[in-house]
């Protein structure tokens, strides 16, 4: 288990980090001082140019009491021309958590994640020039989130409600323009003997004309019964949400305005 710095110290390090893009081979200094950052450069960023950037805000509790449901918020709205957001955790057995493509939506997403141990949680944001802008935070937890069975895998009810979608939208107040979507799914990681991987793979939000608003590629570390919070941006009409899991089960629902 790694030793974690304070949230304030992390914020200072991220703010003062260099903002000139570098190649992974050039070994930029990691503001979170993770011994696994060189592996993240090679395995996650694949040698592409990147910069540690305080404009990529990753919000999470400094200490997470429940490693099965750690709330994470990614806000990259301070960056222009965002094409993709890749979220990953240095010390999870499954590194990649999700990929978010904000096609016509602001670069903002909230969700919950399973963490196996204390770890940096990061968001790499790819802009139109091909540079990854990396932000992150450190989360302490008791661990075991990725190797604990889901409640759904032991329930006789989950098959009846699999991929059931409920939504809520806000049209006024501080949450105005936000959409929250909950999907019933066990999100089994496949790291438990006798329980194969069973998880959502993709979620697509589109307008009534079928134009994509946002797309998600989802991996096993996202928490059971995922809840995604997104911003609708300028789209004030009804939306459609469709998705599938790795076993081919699908959903397609209309989201009222």
Residue 24 pLDDT: 60
Which fold, 152-255?
Answer: Immunoglobulin-like (2.60.40)
Residue-range domain boundaries for the chain: 7-97+104-141, 152-255
Report, as ranges of residue numbers, the positions in the chain whose pLDDT lies below 70.
1-19, 24-27, 153-154, 236
Residue 21 pLDDT: 83
Residue 16 pLDDT: 36
Give me the CATH code for the 7-97+104-141 domain, please.
2.60.40.2470
Residue 166 pLDDT: 96
Taking residue 161's Cβ as centre, other Cβ atoms within 10 Å add up to 12
Q: What is the tens place of the pLDDT at every residue in 172-228?
A: 777 788 999 999 999 999 999 889 999 999 999 999 888 999 999 999 999 999 999
Judge if pTM exceeds 0.85: yes
Q: Do domains 7-97+104-141 and 152-255 have the same CATH topology?
A: yes
Residue 135 pLDDT: 98
């Amino acid at each position: 288990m790694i030793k974690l710095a304070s949230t304030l110290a992390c914020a200072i390090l991220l703010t003062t980090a260099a903002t000139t893009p570098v190649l992974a081979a050039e070994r930029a200094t990691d503001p979170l001082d993770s011994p696994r950052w060189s592996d993240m450069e090679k395995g996650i960023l694949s040698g592409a140019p990147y910069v540690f950037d305080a404009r990529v805000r990753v919000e999470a509790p400094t200490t997470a009491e429940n490693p099965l449901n750690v709330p994470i918020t990614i806000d990259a709205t301070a960056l222009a021309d965002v094409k993709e957001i890749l979220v990953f955790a240095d010390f999870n057995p499954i590194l990649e958590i999700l990929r978010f493509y904000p096609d016509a939506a602001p670069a903002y997403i909230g969700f919950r994640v399973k963490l196996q141990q204390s770890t940096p949680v990061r968001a790499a944001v790819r802009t139109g020039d091909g540079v990854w802008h990396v932000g992150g935070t450190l989360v302490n937890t008791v661990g075991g989130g990725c190797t604990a069975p889901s409640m759904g895998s032991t329930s006789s009810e989950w098959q009846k409600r699999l991929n059931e979608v409920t939504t809520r939208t806000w049209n006024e107040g501080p949450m105005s323009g936000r959409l929250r979507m909950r999907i019933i799914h066990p999100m089994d990681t496949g790291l438990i003997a006798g329980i194969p991987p069973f998880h959502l793979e993709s979620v697509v939000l589109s307008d009534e004309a079928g134009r994509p608003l946002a797309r998600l590629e989802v991996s096993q570390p996202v928490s059971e019964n995922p809840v995604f919070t997104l911003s609708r941006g300028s789209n004030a009409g009804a939306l459609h949400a469709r998705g599938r899991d790795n076993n081919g089960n699908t959903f397609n629902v209309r989201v009222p305005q």
